[in-house]
Structure 1
């Protein structure tokens, strides 16, 4: 990630108090801001996880909150993601079942991760996930701002008719397929920082005054 890209994200992002969707407010406040299991940097190093700490830590929190049963990980880095998710499951007493992309998932998957690094592969995997989804499926695309290919992939997913609610938390993109929701996109800071949030709040206040 570049410093400029991350700064631009922070400047445009919200915390849970800026979200007016009850569904998204509940998800963000419970998955990110509530007290709960966290992956420490020491654990990340000790387990020799092969995905970057910011992504692993967010995935850990999301899995700990959702407690999914049926999981679907696609892509060239699938083994690295599955290893990390298995650790999260074991630490939080969650029975994660990983399904093969070669056959349909009975009833659809609960949780899916696209572990690809180029647009064509991401969108091919997303198509498979859509066909194996149900109304409460949660899909994750890591690294959405890592390069132009992944940013283009994320934009294509935002435009997909089945992606009704999407959340950019910078290190991950989160996709929901809830048919009852109007199509909405959110940019959310997944952690709190007093000074950073105060500065962003001042920006918002001046915007209102202007």
Structure 2
């Protein structure tokens, strides 16, 4: 927690808003997406679905393939508590819905389904999205699939199993408009996912990396991603790093308060 606070204060001292941003692409992103109020109907729908998880008092045994939890001490966890303290936050959910509504990606890959809240936000942001989501834990995947089915959220495929096996198969002969990376907070695996998914990019693809300040490994991974020659523009909003591959853009990096 102290590490995150220190990083946040550093971020605040270096970040800005739309003022001083000379890129029309990023200026529009900030003013028409980041700082635009979320559609009340969309947010109400998301909260309604999230409440179903908050009301779920059952316990599941979670298989964690990633960097582990900073919150839970055992793998036996209550669904309601996962949704409350470990699932995507309301702040992230609002921005994810706005981002998806703004860019309207059709083909979306999500690496890390968890209980399905991020998946739900993506679908609410664009009802036409065709989503492939990867989840390592069988029990968590079951909860997510039940949630999506009960709320009639369609054109969503959850591939369950170790990402080392499911990722390659899921992206075979595919291209994606958006990829949301929320599956593993280690440098090695984050960079592996990044490099594995590079063949799927289009010029207008955008990628979202969760928790880029989670630990020093994630900070290092984010730096390497920013420096990759195919990456043209990045936007650091602290809890996410957003990547664009637009060949017509000059290489630039932004830190934006959202």
Task: Please say if 1:136 is aligned against 2:136.
Answer: no
Task: Please say if 1:58 is aligned against 2:95.
Answer: yes
For 1:32 and 1:121, how far apart are their aligned partners in 2?
29
For 1:118 and 1:89, how far apart are their aligned partners in 2?
24
How does the TM-score come out when normalised to structure 2? 0.65
How many aligned positions are there?
A: 185
Q: Aligned match of 2:113 in 79, 82, 91?
A: 79
Unpaired stretches in structure 2, ≥5 consecutive residues: 54-82, 133-165
Residues 1:47 and 1:61: Cα distance change in structure 2 (over 3 Å): farther
The match for 1:12 is 14
| Displacement after TM superposition at 1:3 (Å) | 2.4
Check whether the contact 2:38–2:94 (CA below 8 A) recurs between aligned residues: no
Alpha-carbon RMSD across the aligned residues, in angstroms, is 2.4
For 2:92 and 2:99, how far apart are their aligned partners in 1?
11
Bigger RCO of structures 1 and 2 (CA < 8 A, at least 6 apart):
1
178-187 vs 40-49, which moves further: 40-49
Task: Note the 1:46-195 alignment, pairs <5 A.
Answer: 46-48=51-53, 49=83, 50-74=87-111, 78-80=112-114, 83-92=116-125, 94-99=127-132, 101=167, 102=169, 103-106=171-174, 108-115=175-182, 116-190=184-258
Residues 1:15 and 1:134: Cα distance change in structure 2 (over 3 Å): same
